[in-house]
Structure 1
Amino acid sequence: MERKEDEIKQQLQELQRQLGKKQSFEEAVSSIRSLLLQYYPSASPSLQKSFYSVVCRAATILKTRYTAPGFWHAGLQLFFDTERLVSESSERKKLQDCIAQAQDHLSEIENQPENSTSTENRPRGFLFEGHLTVDPEPPQPDWLVMSNLLSAAATLPAGQSSEENPASSNSSEAAANLLRELADRLDDIVPMILDDAPAAPRVPPASKEVVAKLPVTTVTDEFLAKLDADAECAICKENLVLNDKMQELPCKHMFHPPCLKPWLDEHNSCPICRHELQTDDHNYESWKEREREAEEERKGAANAVREGEYMYV
């Protein structure tokens, strides 16, 4: 019996990981419900706690990640089933709160108006080939805006003194205005000017060797005393409790190891500060080095545009 319960706990752990993925959430909830109804009534207190924990994790993930009604309907049924089975009053109260929140969320969705934008407030159309369109005029693409600005700047006459040409002061003012506009759009212009590099590659998983060496700390009373009362794992959003295992990244942020590994496999960055870990992909590491050098070039181009603006002020 003990071996069977260990297998069920492993299944619950795997299903808990699947809850974090949008495409597998509903299927994972359905599997948890099936196991719950089949095994919870005769389960040991330890296994019952595992069931309760994974149901609470499903509630947390729903509140922090998903809004689609299908996910909340699935969660609501899971909360109903669990609330009927648990015996502890605190657990029943928690599940009743989850049920109420799910019902409120679904009620809000059902009561949303079909068209929240009235006809009176709808943006007017624009003329296109002699006809007035129904939709508002779309914004010009960035490349066209940049092209127009740079073309206008190129047509400005060479700077002359106001004594030689009284109109030169107007030209200088126009140049200053154009340079200000160019500076305002600098973040968009500079990448277009220097856009010889290929698009950023997908970030490979973190190096297994690097991840294996990340230190793991057990949460103690002293550890909790140094943190806020609401300290949590930023990935699963669960509050830290005594004896939790926490793995520390080089940026000093800490997470549950079962949460951190799949996150690093998919994103390879700290969920809080976006610090990247080293990968085993030589091509990607070379690209990062080239990108650092290109960033220095972008900064140089930005400074050049700003210095040009100051000359006309």
Structure 2
Amino acid sequence: MEGVEENDMKQRLQELQKQLGKKQLFEQAVSTISSLFTLSYASASPSLQNLFYTVVCRVATILKARYTAQGFWTSGLQLFLEAEKLVAQPSQKDHLRKCIAQTKEHLSELDNQAEGVERVQNQTRGYLFEGHLTVDPEPPQPEWLVQSNLLSAMANLVPATTSEDQTGNSNTSEEAARILQGLVDRLDDIVPMFMDEGSTAPRVPPASKEVVAKLPVITITEEILNKLGTDAECCICKENLIVNDKMQELPCKHTFHPPCLKPWLDEHNSCPICRHELQTDDHAYESRKEREKEAEEERRGAANAVREGEYMYV
């Protein structure tokens, strides 16, 4: 492959690598990369072959970090299988085989989930209501009723289990164990019933959309990457940074991929590194936070005054 053609191919691969980060372009980009790999890899120079391999690895990283849909992983599997046949370096072959195994495992899990949903849908649909068999499936019990029934059953079985243990009958004990397991499975839902809601810290609301939209976006250059080091990564998806990556900067100066940062802020609303919190659209939460800040400042002022008074009388 001539030098001009190689430069054109490098530019095309870099452009396709950018497209991988856009959900609507991902599958088409992977398909194009696979075709280029098949047609041009064998005749490419070692540097271009390394770029091909880097782009394929980027596909694997993005799949694990961002996408779960079956179509994305199917297209990725086809690329990994094609690349594994063509690369010559043993370390690259080993890595691609791991990618293939992980992809097949993920696709198998998706198939099992789909089969489980189908089995549920094929179960008997009708249920008895006021003496008549309905056509629609029985609606699920509300969570509070499920929890109440479990707690009531356990309360009734505890005395019976104690008396049955003395006679050697294990049926009640087995029933108690079954219900106890049900309680354990729902522990996260049941525990809050026994806790004072006022004593638990409320969930932090998501960051303001306007604030997030105004966060600056920087492009990783060779100079920036050299300063950060070769091991620099987005701390959310753990993906190594490369030239031309777009990174969004928080007020604390830490940066992350925009597609990684938004869902993180919706869920946690804090910097994954230093826990700096962004402003929210919840006025009640912001007012309470401001009052707590003022109260903390007052407590510090009072503590300082006490210390100064003690110092005067020493």
CA distance in 2, matches of 1:272, 1:290: 12
Does the 8 Å CA contact 1:59/1:75 hold for their aligned counterparts? yes
Deviation at 1:267, TM superposition (A): 4.6
Deviation at 1:245, TM superposition (A): 9.3
Aligned partner letter, 1:134: P
Residue segments in structure 1 that go unaligned for 5+ positions in a row: 141-179, 192-199, 277-287, 303-313
Aligned partner letter, 2:60: A
- The equivalent residue for 1:21 is 22
- The equivalent residue for 1:216 is 224
Does the 8 Å CA contact 2:34/2:79 hold for their aligned counterparts? yes
- The equivalent residue for 2:4 is 3
In structure 2, the CA distance between the partners of 1:105 and 1:297, relative to structure 1 (3 Å rule), is closer
- The equivalent residue for 2:88 is 87
Does the 8 Å CA contact 1:36/1:51 hold for their aligned counterparts? yes
Aligned partner letter, 1:55: V
1:32 paired to 2:33: yes
Aligned partner letter, 2:138: D
CA distance in 1, matches of 2:219, 2:98: 39
- The equivalent residue for 2:51 is 50
Does the 8 Å CA contact 1:234/1:271 hold for their aligned counterparts? no
In structure 2, the CA distance between the partners of 1:187 and 1:71, relative to structure 1 (3 Å rule), is same
CA distance in 2, matches of 1:275, 1:292: 15
In structure 2, the CA distance between the partners of 1:24 and 1:139, relative to structure 1 (3 Å rule), is farther
* Cα offsets for 1:156-199 (capped at 9, x unmatched): xxxxxxxxxxxxxxxxxxxxxxxx988489969xx9xxxxxxxx
Deviation at 1:17, TM superposition (A): 2.4
- The equivalent residue for 2:138 is 135
Does the 8 Å CA contact 1:29/1:78 hold for their aligned counterparts? yes
Deviation at 1:111, TM superposition (A): 4.0
SS in 2 for 1:114: helix
Does the 8 Å CA contact 2:127/2:137 hold for their aligned counterparts? yes
Aligned partner letter, 1:33: S
Does the 8 Å CA contact 1:76/1:103 hold for their aligned counterparts? yes
Does the 8 Å CA contact 1:20/1:61 hold for their aligned counterparts? yes
How large is the Cα RMSD of the aligned pairs? 5.2
Higher relative contact order (Cα pairs below 8 Å, separated by 6+ residues): 1
Number of residues of Structure 1 aligned to a counterpart in Structure 2? 225
Deviation at 1:45, TM superposition (A): 1.3
Aligned partner letter, 1:34: S
SS in 2 for 1:237: coil
SS in 1 for 2:239: coil
CA distance in 2, matches of 1:103, 1:299: 47
Deviation at 1:46, TM superposition (A): 1.3
CA distance in 1, matches of 2:84, 2:225: 34
TM-score by length of 2: 0.51
* Cα offsets for 1:87-145 (capped at 9, x unmatched): 111111111111122222223333447346869x99x98979x99773336769xxxxx
Does the 8 Å CA contact 2:220/2:246 hold for their aligned counterparts? no
Overall identity of the aligned pairs, in %? 42
CA distance in 2, matches of 1:69, 1:268: 21
**Structure with greater proportional helix content:** 2
SS in 1 for 2:33: helix
In structure 2, the CA distance between the partners of 1:273 and 1:211, relative to structure 1 (3 Å rule), is farther
SS in 2 for 1:27: helix
Does the 8 Å CA contact 1:219/1:244 hold for their aligned counterparts? no
Does the 8 Å CA contact 1:15/1:32 hold for their aligned counterparts? yes
Aligned partner letter, 2:52: F
Alignment of 1:107-118 (within 5 A): 107-112=108-113, 114-115=115-116
Deviation at 1:77, TM superposition (A): 0.9
Alignment of 1:246-261 (within 5 A): 250-254=251-255, 260=257
